[in-house]
Chains A and B, each alone.
Chain A
Amino acid sequence: MSTPQSYEAAVTGSPDQVAEFDQGHQSFIQRLQHALHVTPSLVPLIVLILSIVTFGALLGSKFFSPFALTLILQQVAIVGIVASAQSLVILTAGIDLSVGAIMVLSSVVMGQFTFRYGLPPALGVACGLMCGAACGFVNGWLVARMKLPPFIVTLGMWQIVLAGNFLYSANETIRSQEISAEAPFLQFFGEKFKIGGAVFTYGVLFMVLLVLILAYVLRHTAWGRHVYAVGDDKEAAELSGVNTDKVLISVYMLSGLICAFAGWALIGRIGSVSPTSGQLANIESITAVVIGGISLFGGRGSVLGTFFGALIVGVFTLGLRLLGADAQWTYLLIGVLIIAAVAVDQWIRKVSV
């Protein structure tokens, strides 16, 4: 045997450090950028607090009262719930234009099943919820299995569901007085309770709980992580063993179900079942989602951000109205906010990590 070949000898000469990314000194801006990247709901939260403080300073106790502040919560409850559903879909890099239509159809089903067919209200509500989930399933199935673009699928479903709503309901309103006399359960989410001067409805409570539960589920469960994974890179998720079709269908179904709940909350808010309400809910929900910092390219953002986004719109609407400004200023400023939010999103995306 000759001397053993010293294969290992070369190793000693090589650097024994693990790969390292030395970022050197981080400027404040870089650290801020990093913080925003890690916590996407931070930007809308800052904007929300700033806007509340600004309007509070301008309007004083008129705005800064428990009554006015909880009024904002009541006014954004419906959009907030729908926007939570929209967030789920947008996180998968999709979009749901049919949310408002599903909401209205579900509320009409709840009302008509109770009043036209004489079902017990609880059963009517259950049928409405099923109707919402079924619409969502159709969306999800077409997107996942037929591989159609979500924009097209939900654009079509928007028209179909809305037309179905008008055909089925003959655009008849069920009046608030009849509902409270015969089926008060339909107005459940309109029930309110007071803490001091603050007024909360069950609808508001539902929205807050829904946001918290979704935030937890998206962050800490396998399903939630899969939603992000599918939105970030569908093929990579598939290769890692995620059943992407199933995730997509479940997301659209859940979105439809949440919209149906929004429909129920809508009855509570306006008292009556009105087939003409909620026409702009899809645009308003997308607005809340975008201002809330969820990326339309999918896979990034948090449902908490959406909640803040919806509140920002509510604060601006009430604040500007109390200031006596023309309603057009609200739309103008919301337009500015949308563009600013996406600009910030693009800037955060440039972060190196």
Chain B
Amino acid sequence: MKKLLLTTIAGVGLIAGAAQADDKVTACLITKTDTNPFFVKMKEGATAKAEELGMELKSFAGKIDGDHETQVAAIETCIADGAKGILLTASDTSSIVPAVQQARDAGLVVIALDTPLSPIDAADATFATDNFLAGELIGQWAAAALGEDAADAKIGMLDLAVSQPTVGVLRDQGFLQGFGIDLGDPNKWGDEDDARIIGNDVTAGNEEGGRRAMENLLAKDPMINVVYTINEPAAAGAYEALKSIGRENDVLIVSVDGGCPGVQNVKDGVIGATSQQYPLMMASLGVEAIKKWADEGVKPEPTPGKDFFDTGVALVTDKPVDGVDSIDTEEGTNLCWG
């Protein structure tokens, strides 16, 4: 038994040695899942960039959103593998910190993509969408589109999950601020006391949840006329619920993401406006940063004035309003992902 064990260790050592021998820089990409189109696109962007720079990219993903254990195991694998850097979209932003620290101690550069860790400086850098700004843009757009009616709007808020992950809170609070509603604690949603908010419900970010949550809010008040949604699948579900009571044409739905089906929905008038983010850019910039770290030992710097590197966000709508910059659906389609 012991002998077998020793041989195995020796064997593994040999293989590891062989892997080291070809001196390509290895980078790891760890996403929440490998099924969400957002992460699929991220992986595409990272793979293409790595190929271009002559690097080797290894991808890992959790089984479902929230699968923390698999991500920790992936970080450990990357350390053992001798990778130079890790691109990470964390499922559990605070619990992952010790594992990230372990990787940084081992000399890897860790870049959080899309989802900031908590605290944000637990990673060497964060490449992300400004989710608060993304929310603010659709909030401003909705308020301007309603004009004077904004003062007595009835707003339904379709959020992500009861655990209030940061991305969901930022978009929600950004929307409210943009719409002109006083925030309570900006670190959580649902504590505002403005009478225009009919209620918050959670969608899990998919069609099924979007429809159910919309129905629940409509049962509370069937005259809701503005709906904020965490992402476009949830918006599509909400639209179905509105359609079933014949109100799809007099409700304004706004969303965040900028996936191709979502942009198409903006074009078709299902969604009024959506804030588009750029996962491909996050991934390719991330791979470049790892290369730079491996070659020159330089870590990426955050965008001036922010504690992360802003990969940009744009409002996509075919009904532009004064005072809010936007692009039309044609341009949005060229830039969309998934």
Are B244 and A192 in contact (CB-based, < 8 A)?
yes
Are A71 and B207 in contact (CB-based, < 8 A)?
no
Q: Which residues of B (19-48) have their CB < 8 Å from a CB of A?
A: 34-37, 40
Interface flag for A324 (CB, 8 Å)? yes
Are B236 and A171 in contact (CB-based, < 8 A)?
no
Are B219 and A68 in contact (CB-based, < 8 A)?
yes
Interface flag for B206 (CB, 8 Å)? yes
Partner of B216, one of A199, A274, A322: A322
Partner of A276, one of B35, B220, B243: B35
Among A74, A199, A269: residue with most chain B CB under 10 A:
A269
Closest 10 A-B residue pairs measured CB to CB?
Answer: A270-B207, A271-B240, A277-B208, A321-B216, A327-B162, A171-B35, A274-B207, A166-B35, A68-B219, A175-B261
Interface flag for A110 (CB, 8 Å)? no
- How close is B184's CB to chain A, nearest CB, in angstroms? 15
Which stretch, B9-17, B92-100, B264-272, B328-336, touches the partner chain A? B264-272
A62 contacts which chain B residues (CB < 8 A)? 219-220
A269 contacts which chain B residues (CB < 8 A)? 208, 211, 240
Q: Which residues of B (238-296) have their CB < 8 Å from a CB of A?
A: 239-240, 243-245, 261, 264-265, 268, 270
Interface flag for B230 (CB, 8 Å)? no
A182 contacts which chain B residues (CB < 8 A)? none
B211 contacts which chain A residues (CB < 8 A)? 269-270
Q: Which residues of A (258-277) have their CB < 8 Å from a CB of B?
A: 266, 269-272, 274-277
Residues of A bordering B, CB below 8 Å: 62-63, 67-68, 71, 74-75, 78, 166, 170-173, 175-177, 190, 192, 199, 266, 269-272, 274-279, 317-318, 321-322, 324, 326-328
- A71-B215, A171-B35 known; 18 other A-B pairs, CB under 8 Å? A62-B220, A71-B219, A74-B215, A173-B261, A176-B240, A190-B244, A192-B244, A266-B208, A269-B208, A270-B236, A271-B207, A271-B243, A272-B207, A274-B233, A278-B208, A318-B216, A322-B216, A327-B201
Partner of A277, one of B34, B206, B243, B270: B206
CA distance A177 to B199 in the complex (A): 28
Interface flag for B64 (CB, 8 Å)? yes
Interface flag for B202 (CB, 8 Å)? yes
CA distance A177 to B271 in the complex (A): 12
CA distance A266 to B220 in the complex (A): 24
Are A276 and B215 in contact (CB-based, < 8 A)?
no
Are B36 and A276 in contact (CB-based, < 8 A)?
yes
Partner of B162, one of A67, A166, A177, A328: A328
CA distance A317 to B239 in the complex (A): 21
Interface flag for B212 (CB, 8 Å)? yes
29 contacts between A and B (CB under 8 A): A67-B219, A71-B215, A75-B215, A166-B34, A166-B35, A170-B40, A173-B261, A175-B264, A175-B265, A176-B236, A176-B240, A190-B244, A199-B244, A199-B245, A270-B236, A271-B207, A271-B239, A271-B243, A272-B236, A274-B207, A274-B208, A276-B35, A277-B206, A277-B207, A317-B216, A321-B201, A322-B219, A327-B162, A328-B162
Are A171 and B40 in contact (CB-based, < 8 A)?
yes
- How close is A252's CB to chain B, nearest CB, in angstroms? 25
With known contacts A75-B215, A171-B37, A276-B35, A322–B220 Cβ distance under 8 A: yes
B219 contacts which chain A residues (CB < 8 A)? 62-63, 67-68, 71, 318, 321-322
Q: Which residues of B (25-78) have their CB < 8 Å from a CB of A?
A: 34-37, 40, 64
Residues of B bordering A, CB below 8 Å: 34-37, 40, 64, 162, 199, 201-202, 206-208, 211-212, 215-216, 219-220, 233, 236-237, 239-240, 243-245, 261, 264-265, 268, 270
B212 contacts which chain A residues (CB < 8 A)? 75
With known contacts A177-B270, A270-B207, A277-B207, A172–B220 Cβ distance under 8 A: no
Are B162 and A270 in contact (CB-based, < 8 A)?
no
B206 contacts which chain A residues (CB < 8 A)? 274, 276-277
Are A270 and B216 in contact (CB-based, < 8 A)?
no
- How close is B240's CB to chain A, nearest CB, in angstroms? 4
A190 contacts which chain B residues (CB < 8 A)? 240, 244
CA distance A158 to B64 in the complex (A): 14
- How close is B327's CB to chain A, nearest CB, in angstroms? 21
CA distance A67 to B218 in the complex (A): 10
- How close is B232's CB to chain A, nearest CB, in angstroms? 9
A171 contacts which chain B residues (CB < 8 A)? 35-37, 40
Are A279 and B215 in contact (CB-based, < 8 A)?
no
With known contacts A71-B215, A279-B64, A321-B201, A270–B36 Cβ distance under 8 A: no
Are B35 and A176 in contact (CB-based, < 8 A)?
no
- How close is A166's CB to chain B, nearest CB, in angstroms? 5
B40 contacts which chain A residues (CB < 8 A)? 170-171
B35 contacts which chain A residues (CB < 8 A)? 166, 171, 275-276
Return the chain B residue nearest A273 by Cβ. Answer: B207
- How close is B190's CB to chain A, nearest CB, in angstroms? 9
- How close is A310's CB to chain B, nearest CB, in angstroms? 14
- How close is B259's CB to chain A, nearest CB, in angstroms? 9
A75 contacts which chain B residues (CB < 8 A)? 212, 215
CA distance A166 to B239 in the complex (A): 25
A170 contacts which chain B residues (CB < 8 A)? 40
CA distance A74 to B111 in the complex (A): 44
B220 contacts which chain A residues (CB < 8 A)? 62, 321-322
A266 contacts which chain B residues (CB < 8 A)? 208
Are B37 and A176 in contact (CB-based, < 8 A)?
no
Return the chain A residue nearest B219 by Cβ. Answer: A68
A78 contacts which chain B residues (CB < 8 A)? 208
